[in-house]
């Protein structure tokens, strides 16, 4: 049993849905927790969507969510950039995620910041070389998330972190990363929830981003054995507070306060 929890931060891909398929019980789990008064946030490293479009997408799948609860890496990166009040930026990002950056002055020729998100079809020789030359002239580099590889859309793909790493190595410029496991996004979620660290739990399928980030930030974590989870993840140095077979087991973990931790079915406590 997770005591004192009043808010849940959900990863989306691999927890609620994966490759476009909603996990059985996921919609009900969200609704049950909402009705029980839990504060919910949905924190994803994906960047192609804005928070508005990702919310619309989740609603179309049957989830009861609000745009104010959804934090995509593109939204979070725009918030990060706003703190820095940039003179201008070049946002290397495709899709609706780009909408999040409409308040910034875009400048491909002499930007103060190069922001790299999922630019898929435009990660080509010319664009990457252009970015490299700008970095060598002093532009700052921001990565929306550090993930190297992603499977959430079907076939395995290079993710944002791989392209940012390439630019870092070639230019010698260190990037600032925003998405999980970086603390910025956890702070953003927590502040927005109005709760303390010991009142919030992160639920995710990726030990190196969801669980690592939660622990570094100082909140409890639940690993679900769905999505990108692999058995070898359990050998990692990072140990989640609980491990569940799927999101279906989460409601019991958060609400059955008469069951002792050691007796909790489907849950396994480390150490
Ligand atoms: Mg995930």
Ligand 1 centroid from CA 208, angstroms: 10
Q: Is the pLDDT of residue 259 over 80?
A: no
What pLDDT, on the 0 to 100 scale, is given for residue 2? Answer: 78
Long-range contacts of 161-164 (CB under 8 A, 24+ apart): 163/116, 163/119, 163/123, 163/128, 164/116
pLDDT at residue 23, rounded to an integer: 97
Q: How high is the pLDDT of residue 52?
A: 97
Q: Report how far residue 149's alpha carbon sits from residue 156's, in angstroms, rounded to the nearest whole number.
A: 7
Q: Examine the fold and report which residue of 144, 177, 210 is the final residue of a domain before the chain moves on.
A: 177
Mean pLDDT, residues 7-27 taken together: 96
86 Cα–ligand 1 center, Å: 30
Give residue 11 CA to ligand 1 midpoint distance, Å. 5
What confidence score (pLDDT) does residue 150 get?
A: 92
Same domain, 195 and 230: yes
Structure tokens at 69: 């609860």
In the predicted structure, residue 16 carries a pLDDT above the cut 80: yes
User: In this predicted structure, which of 1-15, 63-77, 106-120 has the lowest mean pLDDT?
Assistant: 1-15
Of 147, 177, 207, at which residue does a domain stop? 177
Percent of the chain at pLDDT > 90 equals 90
Tell me how far apart the alpha carbons of residues 161 and 140 are, in angstroms, rounded to a whole number. 16
pLDDT band for 169, please (50, 70, 90 cuts).
very high
Same domain, 121 and 161: yes
What average pLDDT does range 19-47 have in this prediction? Answer: 96
Q: Is the dihedral of CA 64, 159, 50, 201 positive or negative?
A: positive
Q: Which domain holds residue 245?
A: 7-45+180-269
Average pLDDT, integer, range 244-264:
74
On whether residue 75 sits in a domain, the answer given is no
User: What does the pLDDT read at residue 1?
Assistant: 67
Distance 15 CA to ligand 1 centre (A): 6
Tell me the pairing of strands 149-150 and 157-158: antiparallel
- Boundary-marking domain end, from 177, 207, 233: 177
Q: Are residues 165 and 250 in the same domain?
A: no
Say if 77 falls within a structural domain: no
Evaluate whether residue 92 is within a structural domain. yes
Question: What does pTM read for this prediction?
Answer: 0.92
Give residue-wise pLDDT tens across range 99-140.
999 999 999 999 999 999 999 999 999 999 999 999 999 999
CATH number of the domain that 36 lies in?
Answer: 3.40.50.1000
pLDDT at 257: 56
What is the spatial distance between Cα 227 and Cα 221, in angstroms, rounded to a whole number?
16
* Residue 197 in this model has a pLDDT that exceeds 80: yes
Q: How far is the CA of 22 from the centre of ligand 1 (A)?
A: 13
- How many domains does the chain contain in total? 2
* Structural domain includes residue 50: no
Q: Minimum mean pLDDT among 17-21, 109-113, 189-193, 222-226: which range?
A: 17-21
> pLDDT band at residue 154, thresholds of 50, 70 and 90?
confident
What percent of the chain clears pLDDT 70, i.e. is strictly above it? 94
Q: How far is the CA of 228 from the centre of ligand 1 (A)?
A: 6
CA of 88 relative to ligand 1 center, distance in Å: 32
Same domain, 167 and 184: no
Shared domain for 135 and 151, answered yes or no, is yes
């Amino acid at each position: 049993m997770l005591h004192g929890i009043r808010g849940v931060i959900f990863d989306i891909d691999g927890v609620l849905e994966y490759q476009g398929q909603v996990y059985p019980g996921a919609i009900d789990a969200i609704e049950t927790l909402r009705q029980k008064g839990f504060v919910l946030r949905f924190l994803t490293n994906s960047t192609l969507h804005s928070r508005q479009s990702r919310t619309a997408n989740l609603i179309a799948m049957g989830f009861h969510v609000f745009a104010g609860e959804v934090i995509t890496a593109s939204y979070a990166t725009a918030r990060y950039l706003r703190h820095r009040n940039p003179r201008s930026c070049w946002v290397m990002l495709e899709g609706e995620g780009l909408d999040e950056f409409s308040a910034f002055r875009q400048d491909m020729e002499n930007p103060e910041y190069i922001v790299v998100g999922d630019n898929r079809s435009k990660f080509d020789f010319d664009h990457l070389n252009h970015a490299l030359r700008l970095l060598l002239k002093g532009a700052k580099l921001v990565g929306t998330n550090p993930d190297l590889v992603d499977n959430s859309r079907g076939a395995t793909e290079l993710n944002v972190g791989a392209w940012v790493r390439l630019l870092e190595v070639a230019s010698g410029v260190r990037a600032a990363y925003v998405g999980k496991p970086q603390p910025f996004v956890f702070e953003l979620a927590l502040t927005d929830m109005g709760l303390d660290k010991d009142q919030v739990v992160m639920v995710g399928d990726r030990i190196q981003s969801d669980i690592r980030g939660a622990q570094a930030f100082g909140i409890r974590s639940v690993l679900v054995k769905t999505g990108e989870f692999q058995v070898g993840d359990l050998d990692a140095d990072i140990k989640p507070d609980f491990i569940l077979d799927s999101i279906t087991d989460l409601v019991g973990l958060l609400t059955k306060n008469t069951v002792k931790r050691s007796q909790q079915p489907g849950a396994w406590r480390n150490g």
